[in-house]
Structure 1
Amino acid sequence: MEAENALAGSPDWRISRRGPARAIEGFADRVSVRPGERLGLRVSTTSAYYTVRAYRMGWYGGARARLVWRSAALPGVLQPPAMLDPDTRTARAKWCETARIDTSGWPEGSYLLRLDTQDGQAQRFMPVTVRSASAAGRTVIMNSVATWQAYNRWGGADLYRGVTGRRGSRSLQVTFDRPYENRQGAGQFLPYEAPLIALAERMGLPLAYTTGVDVARRPDFLMGAAAMVSLGHDEYWSPEQRRHVTRARDTGTNLAVLGANCCYRRIRFEASAVGPDRNVVCYKDDYAKDPGFQRGSPPTHDFRRTPGSDPESSLLGVLYDGYPVDAPYVVSHPEHWLLAGTGAGAGDSFPHLVGVEFDRVNAAHPTPRPVEILAHSPVVCKGRPSYADTAYLSLPGGAGVFATGTMRWVEALDAGAPGGGKASHGLGARAGHFTRTVTANVLWAFAKGPAGRARPAEDNLAVHYRT
């Protein structure tokens, strides 16, 4: 990635003019493509013409993106409003294709396509991944597209609330066949993923790019990867995705979990009229009403629940423990090699770094051992005292597993960083230096191969919890 990031960046990639609601928006017919494949776009706009710019996200001297391709002026079409499926309450854009673009020459990576109206007064993003053919020997960045979609309220409904605003009216499945409402069309990519990509590409690591959908589709893609990175909010996984990640971890692929609430919800991908794996099915408490479950598919609810209980801690070493919290992050094991260079001492704290969801080590659930707790942060969640834990584990197959225990970790990477956005949640430059240093330590070590073999964990669970 060093040669790619040595190219001139494009500091003007950010959206500067939102314009009126629905002035321009769109979605791609695939969440990922290989370089050279064609990508269909479905765009709606009030403008007579529009353009598309493809920005590859990375470091680029702090610019954070490079313009890879730009379209000619394309004729605009105002497409129909959202359609709501009466059975599943799925908000969908039944739009025609308005452009088909060739991705030849596009380097692998995470992209934001920016749509601009003819007068430049309205802009929106569309995310897409140009995925890698192989992960062998590389660190894999896995875009959490199913989770982006779970929280997408375009059309008035997501997996949490429906058009009435009540939980009972929420969608039972959501679809990639619609734009993202969140963050000018970028979904959750900008706060939870882009800062890590900038850091990893700045480091010059050998990287591979994929999505959770592609990991589910491709059983052997992760085999031989040096490491896989789960980013800031990676909640929704299919059983196939989890099985393939687990198999890679068990054969020596390191796993870095740079968020919280990872692998919490079990989902199923289904086809839509646009293509395969376009719908994300998650019935949650109503899993028994799911036609797929009635036909023998696994229940689409929390992994830890019965039937089919398989708590995420068996994969990650940590367990989701609650929401919402806002608490200081407290260092408990400063001499650990992963904290080298941070300057942190025992008891040092970083305000607001724990939030808004958090994980802990909980030996009452399946937990690989040995496990080392590096930070043990007291929190109070809805009146209940608990802890958020940063943990490092080593496994028999040689892999190392690192889990931050807080969802704000990737956001904090931008605090005080060149080219970073405005620090959110009151995260200061100290938190930025700390998280960037630890993350770099993790990525360097994990890129070298099975870290658990080279640096086995020294179990200290009994120091923090009665077991």
Structure 2
Amino acid sequence: MEQPPAAEGAGTGPPPRSTGRRRLLALAAASLGAVHFPGAAGAAGAAHAAAPRCGLDVAGENALTGTADWRVTRTGAAGDIEGFAGRASVLAGEPVNLHVSTTAPRFTVSAFRMGWYGGARGRLVWRSSPLPGAVQPRTETDAATRMAHAAWQPSARLDTAAWPEGCYLLRLDTADGRAQRYVPLTIRSASTAGRLVIVNSVATWQAYNRWGGADLYKGTTGKKASRSLAVSFDRPYAGGQGSGQFLVYEAPLVALAERMGLPLAYATGADIARDPSLLCGAAAILSLGHDEYWSPEQRLHVARARDAGTNLAVFGANCCYRRIRYEPSSLGSDRIVVCYKDDYARDPGYRRGLPPTNDFRRSPAADAESKLLGVIYDGYPVDAPYVVTHPHHWLLAGTGARLGESIPHLVGVEYDRVNTRHPTPRPIEILSHSPVVRKGHRSHANTAYLTLPGGAGVFATGTMRWVEALDAGGPGAPHGLDARAHSFTRAVTENVLRAFAQGPAGASRPAADNVATHYPADPATTTPAP
């Protein structure tokens, strides 16, 4: 969209530049692991780190006492403290380097696992002793791609052996209390068999990360011509107080899924791209609120799992729209996201014969996202009511929805629709048909449910505001979303998660195609059954 706002390496980084710097790093490493809390196991050795896990007890984990003060409440001045992890995800027990720059002489790191926890939404799993702080060089920029990155030395090496798998926010606090920032990290699952897979959309977070002056949309001039052609994980996140897009587009659904106590697994899009077997036997793949940037490998592995009977739920819009390529940095593989978009012919990788890094639906190598999802991105910006057209469908059970009911502001800022002018698997069932006007163009947004010959069900909300609406209804709710938006999206989401956790939903709940009811003039362009 155009909206303003091999395994990864161990992250050891380049060697320290001076004896003093070596001493700082040694002190930092020595101080880690010094403080533990109830509910977290003690430090474990390398043998334990290599032991396989059978899967997280989600209900048991969320029965532990939460921590109310996980939020960033003091941002301080720019540069007071910020950081990034040397890996976007690790298995529990794998080390991860933390790269921090701060004007404070000392700082601490607190690891919060994000979930439900009786409404607290986070649990303190570990906290460091005070670590020595230092100001690190601000930015380096690649001349060819305008990619900004922080060539920072590691400030600490974290031992994750006692950390349960899940979505984490590491909070950096200056010792004087004046500033805090987040660093996101996924403790990924070794296996997803029989589980709902929560996928953190880390490539999309980086696409919109303007730390260092540019993202994949705009650069230092504020114009498209100054945008980056590649973006790096080797830098902090400028948005979300350092959390990227996690708190807006992902955390509300993580909290709901964990509250339900369903079997969950955790991964990033990069993990799925890298490991062809990661989704083997998964009950469902959950794409959250804004999951725009995918590599061809991620798409291939998701499609194979879907065709083998793994359900797919898209709780957003604009999913799988941009085609990217991962490249390594000095810290490891998958640390650079390449996306030239309309300038794909300039991409050295494309010139070497790699797939173009443009939109999936565009030539060359056109492969519209509707083939995977059933729906296709139709545009932005819109702000429109969500209109229910199939209130008696099993996915809407418990919502109290009425035919034609209109839920204010639930459609936006981007939306998807069923459009059989693009390849569309059938049967597909439209559950909402919401009129929208985008830059003078009239269209519709659709929630849809698709079933496939392999047994999988595919659910797509058709609106980017779905996950945000899960927390709507209270004071300060975004976009004017109200309590009705909250109750409706929560009930539907629970129906999706419960049904998809039981295995291939299409086998027991086949879709009844009703496209002609809503789009009688559309040609019957379909994707043949595999």
**Map 1:403-414 → 2, pairs under 5 A:** 403-414=460-471
Q: 2:483 aligns with which of 429, 436, 440?
A: 429
Instruction: Give the whole-Å Cα distance in 2 for the aligned partners of 1:326 and 1:459.
Output: 28
Deviations 1:210-252 (A, max 9, x none): 0000000010111210001000000000000000000000000
The match for 1:259 is 316
Secondary structure at the counterpart of residue 478 of structure 2: coil
Which residue number corresponds to residue 230 of structure 1? 287
Question: Partner of 2:511 in structure 1?
Answer: 457
> Residue in 2 aligned with 1:160?
217
d(CA) in 1 for partners of 2:248, 2:440: 28
Q: Is 1:446–2:500 an aligned residue pair?
A: yes
For 1:259-278, list aligned pairs within 5 A: 259-278=316-335
Q: CA deviation at 1:134?
A: 0.3
The answer to whether 1:250 aligns with 2:307 is yes
Q: Which residue identity does 1:285 align to in structure 2?
A: D
Where 2:426 maps in the other structure, the secondary structure is: coil
- Distance in 1 (CA, whole Å) between partners of 2:454 and 2:193 is 17
Match of 1:291 among 345, 348, 361: 348
State the shift of 1:81 in Å: 1.0
Letter of the 1:240 counterpart:
E
Give 2:78's aligned residue: 21
* 1:82 Cα offset (Å): 1.2
Residues in 2 aligned to 1:201 and 1:454: alpha-carbon distance in whole angstroms = 25
User: Corresponding residue for 2:337?
Assistant: 280
Is contact 2:87–2:96 with CA below 8 Å preserved after alignment? yes
1:90 matched to 2:147 = yes
For residues 27-426 of structure 1, what are the structure 2 equivalents within 5 Å?
A: 27-416=84-473, 422-426=476-480
Describe the superposition over 1:266-318 as per-residue Cα deviations: whole angstroms up to 9, x where unpaired: 00000001111100000001100000000010000000000000000000000
Give the Cα separation in 2 of the matches to 1:109 and 1:416: 27
- Superposed displacement of residue 416, structure 1: 3.6
Write out the 4+ residue segments of structure 1 that deviate beyond 4 Å after TM superposition: none
Q: In structure 2, how many angstroms separate the alpha carbons of the residues matched to 1:411 and 1:465?
A: 29
**Does the CA contact (< 8 Å) of 2:189 and 2:266 recur in 1?**
yes
What do residues 102-137 of structure 1 show as CA deviations (whole Å, max 9, x unaligned)? 001100000000000011110000000000000000
Q: Per-residue CA shift, 1:63-106, capped at 9, x if unaligned? A: 00000000010000101111111110001111111100100110
Contact 2:473 2:481 in 1 (8 A): no
Letter in 1 for 2:268: T
SS in 1 for 2:404: coil
CA distance in 2, matches of 1:77, 1:101: 18
Amino acid at match of 1:95: W
**Which residue pairs with 1:10 in the alignment?**
67
Distance, in Å, in 2 between the alignment partners of 1:127 and 1:250 is 32
Q: Write the distance in 1 (CA, Å) between the matches of 2:145 and 2:378.
A: 29
CA distance in structure 1 between the aligned counterparts of 2:184 and 2:473, rounded to whole angstroms: 26
Work out whether residues 229 and 339 of structure 2, in 8 Å CA contact, stay in contact via their aligned partners in 1: yes
Amino acid corresponding to residue 365 of structure 2 in structure 1: G
Do the aligned partners of 2:289 and 2:466 also contact (CA within 8 Å) in 1?
yes
Paired letter, 2:65: A
Separation in structure 1 between the aligned mates of residue 316 and residue 278 of structure 2, nearest angstrom: 23
Instruction: Give the alignment's TM-score, normalised by structure 2.
Output: 0.87
2:428 and 2:514 in contact (8 A); partners too: yes
CA root-mean-square deviation: 0.7
- Distance in structure 2 (CA, Å) of the matches to 1:403 and 1:462: 18
CA distance in 2, matches of 1:180, 1:255: 28
SS at match of 1:11: coil
AA aligned to 2:209 is N
Q: Deviations over 1:391-434 (max 9, x none)?
A: 001000000000000000000001147xxx84211000110000
Distance (whole Å) between structure 1 residues aligned to residue 407 and residue 139 of structure 2: 43
Matching residue's letter, 2:190: A
